[in-house]
Amino acid sequence: MTVAATIRIQDADFDVAQEIAALTKGRTDIGAVVSFTGICRGSEKGEPIAALTLEHYPEMAEAEIRRHADEALSRWPLQGLAVIHRFGRIAPGENIVLVVTASPHRRAAFEAAEFLMDYLKTNAPFWKREEGVHGTGWIEASDHDDAAAARWTKS
Amino acid sequence: MTVAATIRIQDADFDVAQEIAALTKGRTDIGAVVSFTGICRGSEKGEPIAALTLEHYPEMAEAEIRRHADEALSRWPLQGLAVIHRFGRIAPGENIVLVVTASPHRRAAFEAAEFLMDYLKTNAPFWKREEGVHGTGWIEASDHDDAAAARWTKS
Amino acid sequence: MRVKYFAWVRERIGKAEETLEPPAEVRTVDDLIGWLAARGETYAHAFEKPKVIRAAIDHAHVKPDAMIAGAREIAFFPPMTGG
Amino acid sequence: MRVKYFAWVRERIGKAEETLEPPAEVRTVDDLIGWLAARGETYAHAFEKPKVIRAAIDHAHVKPDAMIAGAREIAFFPPMTGG
């Protein structure tokens, strides 16, 4: 069975339940569904923020996410996979990103979701700008995120 | 901040979106939410099944799950945690179990959810009986599940 | 003490629970399994492979060498298959 | 070739994209960064730390030593912070 990943880059919000249902509805072969939702926090490093604005590279973003989604499909026995990434202005408490994985087995569903999130953080062409109390600034990339993504590199 | 885990053992179905909303609504400090949904599959080891019946030990089940939930709360920086486990007759495609974790950071949310699922599989007092084409029988415990749970034992 | 059985242990014994007063020399969970197994054919069948049987005292998992003195409720069951 | 800039690279240069024809001796991504940095103050500022700049050719990530011959679109940007 060939599984096609659902990939959407949009300014609108998403609905986790609806995306899970889209992968599982009417099926009786799925045993495990993992969802990851990334949410805008109201502070960064102790400083309150009013909002994030996500800039992205539209022509590249979908291709880059699809490449990693296809890698996940080849590495784990997945029955469904969805990645949704928002762009534009996002207020604290609002959703930023969603990954949903479906598999017969829980370990595959967990690992594939974590793999995709680690790669989205470091390789998907999105940049976060924060509106803080002292003006706006670009959020810096994290070494932790690079290390997290490196875990998945096959040696 | 003290976090209390939501634990429910019920025959009714659950709603993933509602449980996620219960942990996150009105908050702006959560950065990552992971949900795991375990679903009844229509076959076990290649044999079709008509349904599962989950037997449980009511007086022990909640205490046992709460013990592991409290361990997860002490090991990871969680802001919210919910575990729902169903009992009774469950048809293929229906939900069996739900774990939701909320944290400022994705790694903690993923790890805590996986930890709880591994422990639920091996330590929560539930037993699955399957209705197959050739009669009914108890599902045997899996060595894989024991190994998965052993990963989390502190040495 | 109250003794409870679950899953196929319950089915083989034919009851979900009973109240028993084992003699004083039955000190551990393992002793209790041996004593129960000698109570009749259904018990012998349920406990024919003691190593696969799991036990809980007062709602907490215990090992076969756990002492049963003071226990209000002891449960026997196969390895769990929840989640 | 079309050259695109994102995030603070875009802000420092003051434009999101432009069409450029670098000379033949500009062969790699690194060469192109050096050539761009020499185009004026805003470019010098954007590329003052070449090691932190990431590049993509025709929508795929590339390393600084990647050849640019045949590229239709080259993009420069800071390390990504999506997800």
> Is residue B128 in a domain?
yes
pLDDT band (50, 70, 90) for residue B73 = very high
* Inside any domain, residue A2: no
Instruction: Report the CATH number that the domain containing residue B96 is assigned in CATH.
Output: 3.90.1170.40
C81–B139 C-beta distance less than 8 A: yes
Domain-located, residue A1: no
C51 interfaces chain B, CB cutoff of 8 Å: no
Pairing of strands A47-56, A80-86: unpaired
Residue A106 is part of which domain span? 9-150
Q: Using H for helix, E for strand and C for coil, what is the string for chain D?
A: CEEEECHHHHHHHCCCEEECCCCCCCCEHHHHHHHHHCCCHHHHHHCCCHHHCEEEECCEEECCCCECCCCCEEEEECCCCCC
Q: Cβ separation of B138 and C7 shorter than 8 Å?
A: yes
Identify the band that residue B13 occupies on the pLDDT scale cut at 50, 70 and 90: very high
* Touch criterion met for D and C (3+ Cβ pairs within 8 Å): no
What residues in chain A have per-residue pLDDT under 70? 1, 155
Count of domains for chain A: 1
C-alpha–C-alpha distance, residues D69 and D29, integer Å = 10
On whether residue B107 sits in a domain, the answer given is yes
Low-confidence ranges of chain C (pLDDT < 50): none
Q: Choose the mutation target among A57, A65, A128 for the interface with D, i.e. most D CBs under 10 Å.
A: A57
pLDDT for res A146: 86
Read off the pTM: 0.94
Q: Is residue A45 part of a domain?
A: yes
Written as one letter, the residue type at D32 is L
| Assigned domain for B146 exists | yes
pLDDT of residue B146: 86
Taking CB atoms and an 8 Å cutoff, what residues of chain A touch D74?
A: none
Look at residue A99 and tell me if it is in a domain. yes
Residue B155 within any structural domain of the chain? no
Residue pair B60/B135 in contact by the 8 Å Cβ criterion: no
Q: With 60 as the cut, is the pLDDT of residue B70 above it?
A: yes
Nearest CA in chain C to B37: C83
Residue in chain B nearest C55 by alpha carbon:
B125
pLDDT digits (tens, 9 = 90+) for D29-62: 999 999 999 999 999 999 999 999 999 999 999 9
Non-local (6+) Cβ contacts of A118 within 8 A are: A145, A148, A149, A151, A152
What value does the mean pLDDT take over residues B56-69? 96
The answer to whether A109 and A34 are in contact (CB under 8 A) is yes
Better pLDDT: B12 or B151: B12
User: What phi and psi, each to the nearest 5 degrees, are found at residue B136?
Assistant: -115, 160
Q: Does A92 touch chain B (CB under 8 A)?
A: yes
C73 with C60: CB under 8 angstroms? no
